[in-house]
Amino acid sequence: MFSYRHAFHAGNHADVLKHTVLIAALEHLLEKDTALTVVDTHAGAGLYRLDGDYAGTSGEAAEGVLRLVSETQPQPDAAPLADALARYLAVVRDFNPKGGARIYPGSPFIVQHLLRDHDKLKLFELHPTDSRTLSANIAQLEAGRRIVVLHEDGFGSATKFLPPPSRRALVLCDPSYEIKSDYGRVLDFVAEALKRFATGTYAIWHPIIPRPESHDLPRRLKTLATKAGKPWLHATLTVKSSKILTDATGATHRPGLPASGMFLINPPFTLKAQLEAALPQMAKRLAQDRHAAFSLDHGG
C-alpha cells in the first residue's frame, strides 16, 4: 500500500486539472471574511522537484505543467488564456520566481499559498516517507497552529474535523486508487462527511481508466449528492487513448493515465462558468493524440 509516490506524477495533466479546479474553488470560498478550514485527506510530500529523479523518471510533467509554462506567448488574434487556467499558472510561477517550473507545489502548498492568517489547513498523509517530508516542508513555513500535519489515514480520520467551528470547509480527497478498495473508501468517506457536515464543499479527484470501479465512482457520487439534496459538478480531462498499443516488434505498451476527473459536491456557483472556458484550452494544449477531450456535467 506504500508503493505509490506522487513525486513520479507531479505536474502531470491530472495535476493541471485538479489544481486548476482547486484554486478556482478555493479563491471563491475565500471571498467571505469568515474563516475557512481546508482538509486534505492524501496530502503527499507537499513540494516536488520537477528536475529531480522521481519526476525525471516518469517525464509526466513534460506533458502537463511544463508544456503550459514553456508555451510561447499566443498570437494577438488568439483567444486569451481562460481565467482559471491563468490563475493556476500564476500560482505555479509564484513558486518559481526565476522562471520555468523547477518546483511544483502540491495541494498543501497551493492551499497554504492562498489561505489567510485566520484560516486553517489540516493535512493527512499515511506514507511514512512522504509524511516526514511533508512535515519538514511545512515546518519551514513557521505557520504555527494554522497548519496541522497528521501521519494518519485520511479516510479514517479526516471527518473528525467536520464540521469546523466556523462551519465553512473545503475537503480535498485524492487517493492514489492503486488499491481497488480506495474506490469504495472514497464513497464511504464522502457519505460520512456529508452526514457530519452537509454544507461543506467536497472535491474528489479520480482517475479514468479501463476498470469498472473507475467508471462507477462518479455515478455513485452523483447518487450520493442527489440523495442528500446537494448540487454537484463533474469535470473530466482526457489527453490520449486508453488503448494498449502494439509496436512493430509485437511488444505492447500501456499508455499511462489517459484521463481523470474532479467531482465536487456543493461546488461554488462560479465554478461551472470558469471551467467551461478553461477545459477546452486544457484539452487542446495538453492533447497527446486525437482522442483528447473534456466534459463538464452538473446537477442539483
Q: What share of the chain is helix, strand, coil (3-state, %, to 5)?
A: 40, 20, 40
Q: For residue 118, which phi and psi values (nearest 5 degrees)?
A: -95, 5
Residue 289's alpha-carbon distances to 82, 163, 292, in angstroms, are 22, 44, 6
**Closest to 179 measured CA to CA, from 130, 131, 127:** 127
**Residues ≥6 apart with Cβ < 8 Å to 226:** 232, 299, 300
Q: Is 259 helix (H, G, I), strand (E, B) or coil?
A: strand
Whether 168 and 36 have beta carbons less than 8 Å apart is answered as: yes
Q: Which residues pair with 208 in a beta bridge?
A: 259
Contact 39, 262 (CB under 8 A): no
Q: Taking a C-beta distance cutoff of 8 angstroms, is the pair 22, 172 a contact?
A: yes
Among residues 15, 40, 130, 174, the one annotated as catalytic is 174
Buried b / exposed e over 141-161, threshold 16 CB at 10 Å, is eeeeeebebbeeebbeebbeb
Q: Which of 61, 67, 33 is nearest to 49 (CA)?
A: 61
Please answer whether residues 235 and 261 qualify as being in contact, where contact means their C-beta atoms are separated by less than 8 angstroms. yes
174 a catalytic residue = yes
Among 211, 207, 202, which residue's Cα sits nearest to residue 231? 202
Residues with a catalytic annotation lie at: 174
